[in-house]
Amino acid sequence: MPQDVKKEAEARIAALNVPEDVKKRLREGLNQALNAIRDPSTPQAAKDQYARVVSTINDTLKIIQSPTTSPADKATYTKLIRGINESVRLSQDPKIAPADRDVYRRLADEFAKSMKQLQNPKLPPEQRALAVKVLEGLSDGLLAAQDPKTGPKKAQDVQQIQKNLQEAGTALATLQDPNAPQQAKDAARKTLDDRAASAQNPKYLEFLAEVKRYNPSAACLAAIDARTNQAGWPEGSLWGLSDESCSDILAKAAGDNSSRWNALFQCVQQNAFSTCLVYIPQD
């Protein structure tokens, strides 16, 4: 990548209307991607992926700072840049297993391809709306998963949420790929439709009604709603239930032996929430 691309992107990051710590993380992600491109040990396929990511970030920064871009679109693109940047940072984190770093690198590339599609003026409005919804969920999920206050505490849960986010990213990239077989597109559409319908899933609504029996705080309900939108039902919902804001009602629910959801609540209280799906009551 030319040196002027780095300078241009860094200047545009500096001009973003975001807190300084966010700018710092964006600069870190940009530099990590560029360093990977320059590194002789980086496989060519990975270099190509990072090059697409850097190009997409730079192009998106231009759109954010264009006077013709609406405030709503500026906010959306700023959120998406934070998400793709987080994927890059995780792909270069030495504390993460190499296989998991590869997952985050591929996710960053899929993010980049989908963000490029958003910049296509010929993209049909319904496809654009779907892509924005999926990418915002991915971005929010990646950021929430890395925040010490909201991220999963157990390694097994971290991997499960990573898998859920990757599935959504891969499905969106497949759906937007003109060369993907129709069968693959149909499977991708089902994955995204199921994710989008999580908040209306009958079993999720039953779960939510059960949670509300124990008078949860607004923060607890907000956590469950947000994680469900980000990672789907049931894993995202149980991630939300494991949030610190839900600890009081989780204790009450785990102690209520009269509920048929009791085993699930006990499991989430004591174990990795991703191991608790078997305790979801079946009709």
Q: What is the pLDDT of residues 167-192, one digit of tens each?
A: 999 999 898 888 999 999 999 999 99
Contacts of residue 5, defined as CB under 8 A and 6 or more positions apart, other chains included, come to 54, 55, 58
Q: What is the pLDDT, as a whole number, of residue 84?
A: 95
pTM beyond 0.85, yes or no: yes
Residue 144 CA, chain-centre distance (Å), reads 8
Q: What is the pLDDT of residues 133-172, one digit of tens each?
A: 999 999 999 999 999 999 999 999 999 999 999 999 999 9
Tokens of 212: 């509300």
Furthest-apart CA atoms within the chain: distance in Å: 66
d(CA 135, CA 117): 12
- Burial profile 119-148: b = 16 or more Cβ within 10 angstroms, e = fewer: eeeeeeeeeeebbbebbbbbbbbbbbbeee
Residue 128 has pLDDT above 80, yes or no: yes
Q: Which three-class secondary structure state does DSSP give residue 165?
A: helix
- Nearest C-alpha neighbor of 88 from the set 55, 53, 123, 139: 53
